[in-house]
């Protein structure tokens, strides 16, 4: 199945799969990153997928493959329970406006509300308690999990996955001080989510003030992420949990933002950039790996941190020198 080369007993029976740390006898695991070599040496797994150039002495049987992670995933899928399926049709408790256009084999679960003018593509599943606003368009083969809110005129591509609690198209956070009071600025734009995007639980993507907030093809967004109005996220970027991106920021393609990153508004993040965890970005990023608060090139920031941590010793040395000099 994996196309790998076995080094071990071909009669070995495998009944389960687990990580290196958790695997027990009869289970298979995988090793794809050198930093986990310690776990590999201690694992109780009976067999392990390893890279083709693997040369570590281990007791477990080895299956040498070009991509241990993908090979392990194939085994997990074989051993896993069958996926949950939903029969096409509209649950009796759902409220679907007569003007809604439904494709073939669409599944509308209990207590869904779909407003006038919406369109739902073939093979899409709308989970229980979800709200689909007026004139929203959702493409084919999408999985919208229970209790998602997609507000009016949103545009969702095909094969999009949106997890529970996500809110797509809430008003952007726009106010202006008028006569000593905050007056709401109307948010008249939309959210556009392209094909093959995945959006995590309780993530929010705000509608644009004008135009669109745009999540481009293949973007993967984790749980508890806030994306403000008029933000653009480029193709194949990854946004990890608890990240917040302020309004009108443009994120390039293949960008990675680790957990709890904060981005100010109206900046640009270049293609291929990496923003390390808990970094605060206060200006445009031209590329490379950035870290810290405020964020800067990671090697520069690491050097600064090292200097700061050595200040105590430096201060003590200066005091000692002053004492010797009688100052």
Reduce the DSSP state of residue 34 to 3 states and report it: helix
7 contact partners, CB below 8 Å, separation of at least 6? 61, 62, 63, 64
Residue 179: what are its φ and ψ, rounded to 5°?
A: 50, 40
Q: Annotated catalytic residue: which of 91, 134, 229, 266? A: 229
175 contact partners, CB below 8 Å, separation of at least 6? 182, 183, 184, 185
Residue 157 and residue 193 in contact, taking contact as beta carbons nearer than 8 Å: yes
Distances (CA, A) of 293 to 259, 316, 323: 14, 27, 36
Distances (CA, A) of 26 to 30, 73, 75: 14, 17, 13
163 in active site: no
Burial (0-12, 13-18, 19+ Cβ within 10 Å), 262:
buried
Instruction: Tell me the catalytic residues.
Output: 229
């Amino acid at each position: 199945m994996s196309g790998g080369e076995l080094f071990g007993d071909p009669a070995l029976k495998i009944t389960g799969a687990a990580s290196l740390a958790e695997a027990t006898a009869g289970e298979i695991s995988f090793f794809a990153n050198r930093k986990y070599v310690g776990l590999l040496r201690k694992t109780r797994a009976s067999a392990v997928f390893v890279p083709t150039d693997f040369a570590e002495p281990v007791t477990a049987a080895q299956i040498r493959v070009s991509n241990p992670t993908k090979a392990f995933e194939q085994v997990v899928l074989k051993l896993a329970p069958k996926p949950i399926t939903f029969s096409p049709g509209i649950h009796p408790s759902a409220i679907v406006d007569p003007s809604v256009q439904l494709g073939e084999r669409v599944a509308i679960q209990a207590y869904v509300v779909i407003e006038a003018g919406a369109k739902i593509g073939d093979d899409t599943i709308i989970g229980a308690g979800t709200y689909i606003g007026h004139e929203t368009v959702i493409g084919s083969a999408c999985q919208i999990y229970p209790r998602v809110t997609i507000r009016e005129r949103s545009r969702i591509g095909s094969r999009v996955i949106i997890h529970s609690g996500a809110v797509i198209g809430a008003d952007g956070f726009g106010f202006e001080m008028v006569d000593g009071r905050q007056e709401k600025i109307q948010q008249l734009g939309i959210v556009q989510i392209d094909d093959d995007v995945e959006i995590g639980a309780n993530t929010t993507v705000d509608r644009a003030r004008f135009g669109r907030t745009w999540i481009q093809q293949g973007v993967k967004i984790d749980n508890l992420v806030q994306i403000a109005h008029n933000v653009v996220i480029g193709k194949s970027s990854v946004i990890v949990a608890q990240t917040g991106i302020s309004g009108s920021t443009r994120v390039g393609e293949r960008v990675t933002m680790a957990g709890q990153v904060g981005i100010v508004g109206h900046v640009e993040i270049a293609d291929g950039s990496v923003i390390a965890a808990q970094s605060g970005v206060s200006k445009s990023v031209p590329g490379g790996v950035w870290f810290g608060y405020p964020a800067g090139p990671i090697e520069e920031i690491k050097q600064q941190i090292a200097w700061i941590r050595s200040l105590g010793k430096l201060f003590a040395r200066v005091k000692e020198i002053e004492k010797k000099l009688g100052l």
